[in-house]
Amino acid sequence: MRKHLVLVGGGHAHMMTLENIGRFVEKGFKVTVIGPSFYHYYSGMGPGMLGGTYHPADIRFATKQVVQKQGGIFVKDKVVRIDADKKQVFTRTGNIFPYDVLSFNAGSYVPMPEAHEDQENIYSVKPIEKLMEAADKLKIMFAQKKIIVSIVGGGPSSAEVAGNVWQLAKKVNQHMPDIRIFAGNQFMARFPESIRSRVFSILEKRGIQILETGYVKQVRQDEITLESGDTVSTDFIFMALGVKPSSIFEDSGLPVGPDKGLLVNQYLQSVKYTNIFGGGDCIYFKDQPLDKVGVYAVRQNPVLLHNLMAALEEKEFEIFDPGPDYLLIFNLGGGLGVLKKKGVIFSGKMAFWIKDYIDRKFMKKFQAIENVL
């Protein structure tokens, strides 16, 4: 019976493996990819899509098409649990997939109380598809009247969303909203003052309020309550409270890191199950905890590709080296960004131009696979 490789998710860390599914098939292996959407959206360009800089087609990769063109099987579903001892994957719709080698690139999510998930005008900043829906709604609302848009969370995603909501309203050019960031006790607390001050300056010049007066206790459709007891009215809410890895691993009894991500070794391999691998936001790298940024997923690509093939062929694994300090650029809308690389920090149009160039180049590289195969 053919050995079976199952990939959970079609994100950045699986891109090179998706590109090479044909190689696995040619060697006699069966490949199944399970994902929640026919497309994978690049999260680094999500705020830009919200602001109207990019169209949805600019920032997505046709996962289903690429998989099927190469003789793989694509299943639109969501994995909810695995039985690592029986080597089985269980999905939301009740399907069960046996595997010989399994790899996770299941991403991360923004925690949302169940009561908020179906409420009108309350959106999480992930998955990226939600930002498309939010942008369409906001354009209608901006055309009708002046509204209040609230972003709950004090990290960089709240800054990028706020800046791009401002850009979107500028494009609609009718009623400019009041935009407020509820940042807890300190906005962008884990970043140095040299970055914080630049982000602050750009946002505040646009009239965006950054509130550092305490944490949010409760969110309702038209009202935000702070821990102090103060209440603030609102018309639209983005939840940007930071991301968490998929709950699959803890629910399945697999070893996890402090953040509940799949605990992996230097080979991006589960520390307990040698036939389970992972990359991107959903893992916890045992040797060196990694920031949840796309650059590490991209760096994990060739190692995952090699090690998944090696696991099927029983050959030697490659070691993942996280590499040097990474380039960090925030898209704050209006063609402005803030850039950090080692000791170099600057803001303005050039910072955004660099991010835009890198992101478009990255997407074109992988979108080209759709046409070549």
Q: What is the pLDDT of residue 293?
A: 82
* CATH 3.50.50.60 residue window(s) in the chain: 4-36+77-109+243-323, 114-241+328-354
Q: How many CA atoms lie within 13 A of 229 on its CB side?
A: 0
CB 24 within 8 A of CB 309: yes
Q: What is the pLDDT of residue 133?
A: 94
270 secondary structure, DSSP code: B
Instruction: Express each pLDDT in 281-328 by its tens digit.
Output: 899 999 988 988 888 998 999 999 999 999 999 999 999 999 888 899
How far is 84 from 273, CA to CA, in rounded Å?
7
- Fold that domain 114-241+328-354 belongs to in CATH: FAD/NAD(P)-binding domain (3.50.50)
How far is 192 from 328, CA to CA, in rounded Å?
13
Q: What is the pLDDT of residue 115?
A: 45
Q: What is the pLDDT of residue 33?
A: 97
Q: For each successive 10 residues of the chain (373 residues), what is the average pLDDT?
A: 93 92 96 94 93 95 93 95 97 96 84 60 88 95 97 95 98 96 94 95 97 91 91 94 82 93 97 96 91 88 97 96 91 97 94 96 84 62
The class (CATH top level) of 4-36+77-109+243-323 is: alpha beta
Q: How many CA atoms lie within 13 A of 347 on its CB side?
A: 18
Q: Kindly provide the b/e burial profile for residues 323-339, where b requires at least 16 CB atoms within 10 angstroms of the residue's own CB.
A: eeebebbbbbbbebbbb
Give, to the nearest 10 degrees, the angle between helix 129-144 and helix 156-172. 40
How far is 264 from 284, CA to CA, in rounded Å?
6
Instruction: Express each pLDDT in 121-174 by its tens digit.
Output: 999 888 888 899 999 999 999 999 999 999 999 999 999 999 999 999 999 999
pTM for this prediction: 0.91
